Structure 1
Amino acid sequence: MSAHGSPSASGPPRPHQGNAPHGTNPLRRASDRFESWFGRVLMLVLVLGVPAAALSAGLTAYESSMRTVHAQVAQRHEVVARVTSDVPGDDPVSKQPARIRWIEQNGVTRTGTTFVEPGTRKGATVRVWVNRDGAITDAPMNTVAAKAHGWFVGVMAALGVIAGVQAARAATRLALDRRRYAQWTTEWDLVEPLWSQRFRR
């Protein structure tokens, strides 16, 4: 027998007709191919969807917050008021309510209640925000808070996309595994009698 035809001859094995095409796996099931394809789709969703969702949601939240900022700035203004009575200093930690009085730009005198430091004396000045009706209110939202809100919503949107992709991947894997186990059980029910019969001879 020549060295060319010997099984121990060096060199790559000679191809034959029964070889699988390059890049394919004969043991790969349809569920495996679907899982691989679906994983690529989910990866594409992550790459494109996370920045798109974060940017879209963040900008929308920021623009909405800025509209609130402009509206509140237009509807509220800060005034200097005077405390109308002494405030007890029994609790040095928390602020105490106090009656105050101020004069609007149109000359109207108004009164209200706000929280001041304990021990504040009568006649002391405090700065408060009031609305167009002269009622004491909170300070208007500022641009820093609007930006923070936009960033927060953007990050939450990105995390939502990531969580959705992970949930989809886990649900798909669970459904495919259940199907595979069912197929394995069915196939084993067919093969097991033939397999056991080999050891009874």
Structure 2
Amino acid sequence: MRNRRQRANPVRRTSDRVQWWLARVRLAVLAVTLPAAAVTTGLRSYRGELHSAQTQSATRHPVTARLTTDAPGPTGADSAKVPATAAWTASDGTTRTATVDVWAGESAGTAVSLWVDSHDTPVSAPPNHAQAVTSGWTTAALTAGSVALLCLGLWKGSVHLLNRSRYARWDAEWSQVEPRWSRRLPN
């Protein structure tokens, strides 16, 4: 009942009606677009990360390397990982070395896991399932936030334009009415 009275209000301007309809359209677009965009981009990111993991797993494999020297000890309260040299036997029988990150204070001879490619060059480990899931959720959340901000920006922009139009009309009407109220003659 209130809606019908509101629409029939003789004081209600066309710009008020436009703003009312824009609000409804914005909510409808937001209700449809936000979940669709978030799910689509999240799934695409998840599937892409899984495909990347499968591709990388086919060309990479883990090897066990041994530290050749003691890793530097912790400095102060920091017990983070530090660089150290590790050696392993490559598929062709040669001994290879590389710098790897290990926990501070590890001693020489400690076994460390290292991923290498088909040329026995150290590479990063392929992404795992948890990383793919995290990537999908993160992408979906960022997309949802972006769609919401875009809708908010469009809404604020349209209200700003409607208000500018209203103010211009009020100024034009006031310039006609004000001289009669103040009993001044226009210049």
2:71 matches 1:121? no
Q: How far apart, in 2, do the equivalents of 1:22 and 1:153 lie?
A: 42
Q: Is 1:184 the equivalent of 2:170? A: yes
Q: Deviation digits for residues 148-194 of structure 1, max 9, x if unmatched?
A: 11111111111111111111111111111111111111111111222
Larger proportion of helix: 2
Matches of 2:7 and 2:16, distance apart in 1: 14
Equivalent positions of 1:29-178 (< 5 A) are 29-89=13-73, 91=75, 93-178=79-164
Q: Please, which runs of 5 or more residues in structure 1 have no aligned partner?
A: 1-20
Letter matched to residue 153 of structure 2? A
Q: Using the alignment, how far apart are the partners of 1:184 and 1:27 within structure 2?
A: 14
Q: Which amino acid aligns with 2:126?
A: P
Q: How many residues are aligned here?
A: 178
Distance in 1 between residues matched to 2:94 and 2:119, nearest whole Å = 11
Identity of aligned residues (%): 37
What is the distance in 2 between the residues matched to 1:175 and 1:60? 37
Q: Tell me the distance in 1 between the aligned counterparts of 2:178 and 2:84.
A: 87
Match of 2:12, SS state, is coil
Deviations 1:18-39 (A, max 9, x none): xxx9951111111111111111
Is the 2:88–2:95 contact (alpha carbons within 8 Å) kept by the matching residues of 1? yes
Which consecutive unaligned segments of at least 5 residues does structure 2 have? none
Taking structure 1 as the reference length, what is the TM-score of the superposition? 0.79
Aligned-partner Cα distance in 1 for 2:103–2:143 = 41
Q: Distance in 2 between matches of 1:138 and 1:179?
A: 58
- Call closer, same or farther: CA 1:112–1:23 in 2, change over 3 Å: closer
